[in-house]
Amino acid sequence: MRQKPRSFLLLALATVLVMIQSAAADPVLKPGSTLDLSGMPSVGGQNFQAAALPNRTFLVFSSNRKNADQTRQWGDMIGHRYGAKLAKWTEQQGQPILIVPVLDSSSMRFMPQSVVSGIVKMMGGGNDVLLDWKGALSEKVGAPSDDAAVIAIGPDLRVQAIATGAYSPDAATALFAALDADAKHAAVETSKSSG
């Protein structure tokens, strides 16, 4: 008879531990989640620091060698739509939306950074490309590895919208709505400070 309560307690404890691990292991980003890439190194050797770029929206492009064409397509469409409102995070001069390209470098983690940096530059990337050596961002996005991801992050470092896969008007709806709202808000703030 004494064994039953002990067995029940062990089973209950094991169940609680599994539930805690499952809750902690949910890597998928959702609108409202916090995402801070601070400390992630760039090809140029500069670590990304969100706090040094206040009151900006970050447009994060997460890609790898499998989905580079999708990333380029998203970049072209976003560049065409927002143009002068965009800037690289390393060269910002007041633009409301900063581009933050992130390369999932987890498959190259055993290569020296100088070799990976050379590959990035051969593919047309610049010193502003962040290197995600552990693939943590891709894991958090939760999309298949063949899918690029574009993530709008507000000045409060909360995810506003996520688009994955190839560009399509439907996939872009929430992302463009978030960027439109941020650009409009930035224009209001600029007119207040100059008036």
**Residue ranges per domain, the chain?**
26-194
So what's the pLDDT on residue 187? 57
| Token duo for residue 65 | 């060698």
Query: 26-194, what's its fold?
Result: Glutaredoxin (3.40.30)
Amino acid symbol at 66: K
Return the pLDDT at 8. Answer: 56
pLDDT recorded at residue 23: 41
Q: What is the pLDDT of residue 82?
A: 92
- Per-residue pLDDT for the chain (195 aa), expressed as one digit of tens each? 444 566 655 555 555 444 444 444 455 789 999 998 999 999 998 999 988 888 889 999 998 888 889 999 999 999 999 988 999 999 877 888 999 999 998 888 888 888 888 888 887 888 999 999 888 898 888 888 889 999 999 989 999 999 999 999 999 999 999 999 877 766 555 455 555
How much is the pLDDT for 170?
Answer: 93
CA distances from 88 to 56, 84, 128, 129 (A): 12, 11, 7, 10
Query: How many CB atoms neighbour CB 127 within 10 A?
Result: 15
pLDDT value, residue 132: 92
Q: What is the pLDDT of residue 20?
A: 46
